[in-house]
Structure 1
Amino acid sequence: MLEIHCSGTPYEIGRVHGKEARDRVRGSLDFYRGLFNTTCGLDWPGVCEEASKYVTTLETLCPRYLEEIRGIADGAGVGLLDIVALNVRTEINFGLFTKQPSLPVQSDGCTSLSVKTSSDGSWLAQNWDWMVEQSPNLIACHITQTELPKISMITEAGIIGKIGLNSAGVGVCLNAIRAYGVDHTKLPIHLALRTVLESSSKTEAIDKLVKTGVAGSGHILVADPAGGEGLECTRKGILKIPIDEKGLVVHSNHLLLEHPGVVEPPWLQDSHRRVVRLRKLAERRVESGSNVDTPQLFDLFKDQEGYPGSIDRHQVQDCKTQTLFNIIIDLSEKRATVRFGRPTEDREPIEFAF
């Protein structure tokens, strides 16, 4: 796994990312160029035209992020709008889906979990599912910025916000939600993830996102040592899912709450099964009275009930995506364990620690 360490100004951070992950950034562009063409019938100039609609928003809401994106583009030797397109890929997807609902638009599916234990442990865990063709373009990115928490995350090369934790003990996971509509004036979802990773607490992160709003739909699971909270985001607004009486938040790829005015057509039929299954497994673990730890949580994500569209997902038959990595984050200890591939492959992990 390629690990890159970035520091300095936003532009300098981006330039290191683009230069050191040059081949993988270009790999991400090749992957999404093919995906948008296949599923949306949109060539890359058309994708960049869609991406250009977000530049003014980035200049207004998060000019630092735009500078970092510019640095990635220069470091990788590609165009600015190429990298903007990667960072707003979710919004482009859903924007096209809204205009042409018959398109077979694809997005990454995942199963995520927050656990707050009676012994004051706080955990995040997730299987990230996407097409295996994008797996070679994943990187571990470590970012050091002045007066902000240090960040360690797993991301797709070229994207500045994804899944991980920071030195303040704040972590974030993501579940794609496919609902109609985007709002170009709000914060794109991957930049919302970066905003969480730059926050000093769960409360600060949530307050920031509620203030800016999120452009597209998705579930952002935020946690710190005090526990987790789910944020179901749509262009209409953000609704919160607090931890339940067992200390859990469990999510997959459909909205669990009622969102007035939001239309969510059927997408991944296994999403309902996965959230029920993971909740059952997590409740059983919590109720057993034994301590929650990384190996125990990792075992939950090996589950293959409903294969191939199971928690441990496999890209075969009608299942279009596969688990590309699992991450277990211990917020109390500010540590994370990442295993690439399907959990049942049990590959050697990499560790993040602050």
Structure 2
Amino acid sequence: MRQIGKQHGTAAKDKIIRCIGFYAELFQRHCHLSWSDVRTAVRPFEENVKKMWPNLHEEMKGVADGSAQSLVDIVALNVRTEIAFGKFSDGCTSLAWLTKDNAFLGQNWDWQEKQRQNLILLKITQPNKPIIRIMTEAGIIGKIGYNHVGVGVCLNALRAPGVDPNRLPVHLALRLSLECSSASDAVQMLEKWGVASSAHMLIADKHEAFGVETSAKTMQKILRDGLGRIIHSNHFLLPHPGVVDTKWLEDSPFRVDRMRELTDELNDGPAWDMILKLFEDERNSPASICRYELGSSTFGTLFNIVMDLKGGRVVVRMGKPSQVEEVISMTF
């Protein structure tokens, strides 16, 4: 695992350094945390990851070695969701749609435009585990992606106070989900360990799909609706007793409703080209499914990913899917 991380760190060194700088400035501006404060907050997470998931800790060590950065800085990137109790988060809109003939999973990932230059695509090969492809921020070893046996994961940021360093950090939860051989196995793994903070993880394979809403105290599972869909954005859809959903993006319910409206209009059910088109929608712009960093909308869509889990194909569209800058096509 150290060697996997070292390859990541070496190849993405400049982006990792910029990524650390990006979050150092962000934590200071939005959370009034110096990077020294962040490093202190990270320690309990590092200790627990080292104890409970030593392979992931070794991989982060390798990233630090390869990029010539401190291990605690790399851990900070990987637990950025947990730092400051979720006082800031990235937004996005995700969709899983499974029918007899198709199994599609996809999302737009929305964040500050300046972070676009620090995105990377990882390919991770480990003995006796599925081959993984992840779209992520440099230095972070888990995020949105798929594995070669057809399990895919998407992420929606949620914001609820509370964090538990004894549970699995969100980005590492995504990574371990992709080391599973089915969506059900991934959900069982998350239920076993718990997740350290609030998030929604949309997990699917060619047969099943589950939305997993988490907080530092709770976990609720969303099942497919009558048409085989799960649609999510950036607020809790299920009740979580004792958890306060800050509903930090006023447009989040609109994006869920809009995706449902658009998919309702597909009378013949899902098809590849139409799934791609869904994520290009700009109704309610700039706070639309395809989002713009403009005015009160403080971040925009940086990439779109669509996975055909039955057909074994994946497309990543860099930039806004309505204004594609680069297309990365993959098969598994």
* Corresponding residue for residue 244 of structure 2: 263
- TM-score when scaled to structure 2? 0.98
Provide, for residues 196-221 of structure 1, a one-character-per-residue CA deviation record: whole Å limited to 9, x for no partner: 11010111111101000000000000
Q: Does 1:144 align with 2:122?
A: no
* Corresponding residue for residue 55 of structure 1: 46
* Corresponding residue for residue 43 of structure 1: 34
* Corresponding residue for residue 173 of structure 1: 154
Unaligned runs of 5+ in 2: none
* C-alpha contact (below 8 Å) 1:33/1:43 kept by paired residues: yes
Structure 2 SS opposite 1:333 = coil
Q: Give the whole-Å Cα distance in 2 for the aligned partners of 1:185 and 1:37.
A: 25
* Corresponding residue for residue 131 of structure 1: 112
Counterpart among 210, 219, 238 of residue 191 in structure 2: 210
* Corresponding residue for residue 94 of structure 2: 112
Letter in 2 for 1:217: S
Q: Give the whole-Å Cα distance in 1 for the aligned partners of 2:23 and 2:247.
A: 23
1:41 Cα deviation (Å)?
1.2
Q: Does 1:325 align with 2:306?
A: no
The correspondence of residues 11-90 of structure 1 with structure 2, limited to 5 A, is 11-90=2-81
Unaligned runs of 5+ in 1: 1-9, 98-104
* C-alpha contact (below 8 Å) 1:172/1:193 kept by paired residues: yes
- TM-score when scaled to structure 1? 0.92
Q: Does 1:347 align with 2:328?
A: no
Q: Does 1:250 align with 2:231?
A: yes
* C-alpha contact (below 8 Å) 1:232/1:240 kept by paired residues: yes
* Corresponding residue for residue 313 of structure 2: 335
Letter in 2 for 1:127: N
1:319 Cα deviation (Å)?
0.5
* C-alpha contact (below 8 Å) 1:72/1:158 kept by paired residues: yes
* C-alpha contact (below 8 Å) 1:111/1:275 kept by paired residues: yes
1:283 Cα deviation (Å)?
2.1
Q: Give the whole-Å Cα distance in 2 for the aligned partners of 1:176 and 1:93.
A: 14
Structure 2 SS opposite 1:346 = strand
* Corresponding residue for residue 202 of structure 2: 221
Aligned length: 332
Identity %: 46
* C-alpha contact (below 8 Å) 1:125/1:327 kept by paired residues: yes
1:172 Cα deviation (Å)?
0.1
Q: CA RMSD in A?
A: 1.0
Provide, for residues 78-123 of structure 1, a one-character-per-residue CA deviation record: whole Å limited to 9, x for no partner: 00000000000000042xx5xxxxxxx321100000001232x111
* Corresponding residue for residue 268 of structure 2: 289
Q: Give the whole-Å Cα distance in 2 for the aligned partners of 1:59 and 1:28.
A: 23
Q: Give the whole-Å Cα distance in 1 for the aligned partners of 2:269 and 2:47.
A: 51
Runs of 4+ with deviation above 4 angstroms: none
* Corresponding residue for residue 83 of structure 2: 92
Provide, for residues 8-54 of structure 1, a one-character-per-residue CA deviation record: whole Å limited to 9, x for no partner: xx100000000000001111101001100111111111111111120
Q: Give the whole-Å Cα distance in 1 for the aligned partners of 2:35 and 2:112.
A: 19
1:161 Cα deviation (Å)?
0.3
* C-alpha contact (below 8 Å) 1:176/1:219 kept by paired residues: yes
Q: Does 1:309 align with 2:287?
A: yes
1:266 Cα deviation (Å)?
3.0
Structure 1 SS opposite 2:265 = helix
Q: Give the whole-Å Cα distance in 1 for the aligned partners of 2:248 and 2:279.
A: 22
* C-alpha contact (below 8 Å) 2:111/2:299 kept by paired residues: yes
Provide, for residues 282-337 of structure 1, a one-character-per-residue CA deviation record: whole Å limited to 9, x for no partner: 2222xx115511x2111111111111101010001111010000000011122210
* Corresponding residue for residue 155 of structure 1: 136
1:127 Cα deviation (Å)?
0.3
